[in-house]
Structures are given as structure tokens and as C-alpha cells.
């Protein structure tokens, strides 16, 4: 009797405090499960504790009261502690899962934005709109400072604009990020060639050619 009463009271406590604007069994399966656990744990705890007092039962009224009152108190406290602890653990789990999902979605969104900026930059480059190309490549770099292709492509755009020092600087960054990036060596070689530094240009074109770049091999033959 004490267990049933304790479980019912604690279930009502949960109902009024945590899901007070919802139907009795809650809005979600988790609300329903928590209320059910209150009832079940209250019943089981009450029966166990009541069994202990049954062994010590006597005809005295005081002992009879113990068989009802003590199980009620113990079952109420036990079920409150148990379900609140479980609820805290589940809440932490779902919160962590949601945060991880949000981070993954944000990362995917950022990657899509970077790729979009790079594609726009390439489009402007092929149209001969080098200022806009540089602007788009810069956006990609701002979003991902370790994007070797964006540095290399911006370096190529700077070459077309006659800004050879900037082209060399971007090519160096691209090579630092990817030492086997043939296009970056070719872009830097072009900048060196336009500055009259034939030795450095030849060295870069040779590296690009050795990596399989036909453009690098072609530029090497033109020196």
C-alpha cells in the first residue's frame, strides 16, 4: 500500500512540476517513461520495505502505522532520486548529441560556402574579371585559411593583374600547405619570370613539369 501510494504521489509530483502543461502521461515517450518509472519504482520499493516490516509485525497500532508510513516515505524519496538522476543523464546525452549534430551541420555548411566561393572565383577568373576573382578567393581563404587551392588560384589572378609580389606570396603559402601542388609552382614561376628572375622561374617550372604539369613543361621550354 505504501509503495503504490508513494509511486502515485511522486508521479503526480513529476506531472505537476515537469510536464504541467501536458496531458497526464506527457507529450513525449520520455515523459511517459519517466512517469511510469515513478509508479513502478515506488511500488517495488514500497513492497520491499513493507516486506521487512511484515517480518517484524506486531499487533500494536504503532507497528501497523510503520508498515504504511515508512514504505511511503522511502518509496517517494527513492523514486524521486532515481528518476531525476536518470532524467539528468538522458538530458545530458541528448544535449551532447544535438550539439554534435549542430557542429557537424555547421561544418558541412561552411565547407559548402568555401567551395561555392572557390567556384565563383574560378568563374570570374575564366571571364577575365580578376578583381572579382580575387575577392571570391579571399572569401574562401577567410573561411578556410588552410585551403591551398584558393591561395594558388588567387596567386594566378594576381599574376593576371600584374601584382607579381602578391602572386609569389600566395604561391608560397599554397606550397607550404601542399608541397606537391604543381599549379602553385607554375604560378610562382610565372611571377618570377615576369619579374625577370629567370633562374627562380626555371626552377619552379621544372618542379611543376616533374610533377606532371604540362603547363609547367611548356613554360619551361619558353624560357
Q: What is the pLDDT of residue 121?
A: 95
Q: What is the pLDDT of residue 179?
A: 96
User: CB-side exposure of 1: number of CA atoms within 13 Å?
Assistant: 9
Q: What is the pLDDT of residue 48?
A: 58
Q: Is 20 helix (H, G, I), strand (E, B) or coil?
A: coil
Calculate ∠ Cα 17-19-23, nearest 5°: 130
Cell of 60: 500494536
Q: What is the pLDDT of residue 159?
A: 97
pTM score: 0.55
* Separation between Cα atoms, residue 97 and residue 55, nearest integer Å: 48
In degrees and rounded to multiples of 5, residue 10 shows phi and psi of -70, -35
* Separation between Cα atoms, residue 108 and residue 19, nearest integer Å: 36
154: region left, alpha or beta (phi > 0 left; psi from -120 to 50 alpha): alpha
Q: What is the pLDDT of residue 112?
A: 79
DSSP letter for 57, please: -
* Separation between Cα atoms, residue 68 and residue 53, nearest integer Å: 9
Q: What is the pLDDT of residue 223?
A: 82
In angstroms, what CA-CA distances link 75 with 14, 42, 72, 215? 14, 5, 5, 81
Q: What is the pLDDT of residue 113?
A: 86
Q: Tell me the pLDDT of the chain (223 aa) as tens digits.
A: 554 555 555 555 554 454 444 444 455 666 666 666 666 665 665 555 555 555 555 545 455 555 555 666 666 666 666 666 666 566 666 555 556 656 655 555 667 788 899 999 999 999 999 999 999 999 999 999 999 999 999 999 999 999 999 999 999 999 999 999 999 999 999 999 999 999 999 999 999 999 999 999 999 998 8
Q: What is the pLDDT of residue 203?
A: 96
DSSP letter for 197, please: -
Q: What is the pLDDT of residue 144?
A: 92
Cell of 62: 504503532
CB 73 within 8 A of CB 6: yes
Cell of 222: 619558353
Q: What is the pLDDT of residue 20?
A: 46
Q: Could you give the domains of the chain?
A: 2-107 (no CATH), 163-223 (1.25.40.10)
Amino acid at each position: 500500500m505504501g509503495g503504490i501510494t508513494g509511486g502515485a504521489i511522486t508521479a503526480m509530483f513529476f506531472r505537476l512540476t515537469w510536464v504541467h502543461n501536458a496531458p497526464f502521461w506527457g507529450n513525449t515517450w520520455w515523459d511517459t517513461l519517466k512517469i511510469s518509472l515513478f509508479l513502478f519504482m515506488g511500488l517495488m520499493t514500497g513492497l520491499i520495505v513493507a516486506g521487512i516490516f511484515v517480518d517484524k509485525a506486531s499487533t500494536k497500532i504503532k507497528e501497523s502505522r510503520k508498515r504504511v508510513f515508512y514504505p511511503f516515505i522511502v518509496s517517494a524519496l527513492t523514486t524521486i532520486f532515481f528518476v531525476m538522476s536518470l532524467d539528468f543523464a538522458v538530458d545530458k546525452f541528448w544535449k551532447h548529441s544535438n550539439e554534435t549534430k549542430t557542429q557537424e551541420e555547421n561544418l558541412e555548411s561552411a565547407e559548402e560556402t568555401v567551395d561555392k566561393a572557390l567556384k565563383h572565383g574560378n568563374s570570374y577568373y575564366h571571364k577575365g574579371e580578376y578583381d572579382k576573382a580575387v575577392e571570391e578567393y579571399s572569401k574562401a581563404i577567410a573561411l578556410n585559411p588552410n585551403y591551398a587551392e584558393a591561395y594558388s588560384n588567387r596567386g594566378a589572378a594576381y599574376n593576371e593583374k600584374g601584382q607579381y609580389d602578391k602572386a609569389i606570396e600566395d604561391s608560397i603559402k599554397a606550397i607550404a600547405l601542399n608541397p606537391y601542388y604543381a599549379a602553385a609552382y607554375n604560378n610562382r614561376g610565372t611571377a618570377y619570370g615576369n619579374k625577370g628572375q629567370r633562374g627562380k622561374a626555371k626552377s619552379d617550372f621544372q618542379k611543376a613539369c616533374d610533377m606532371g604539369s604540362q603547363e609547367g613543361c611548356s613554360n619551361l621550354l619558353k624560357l
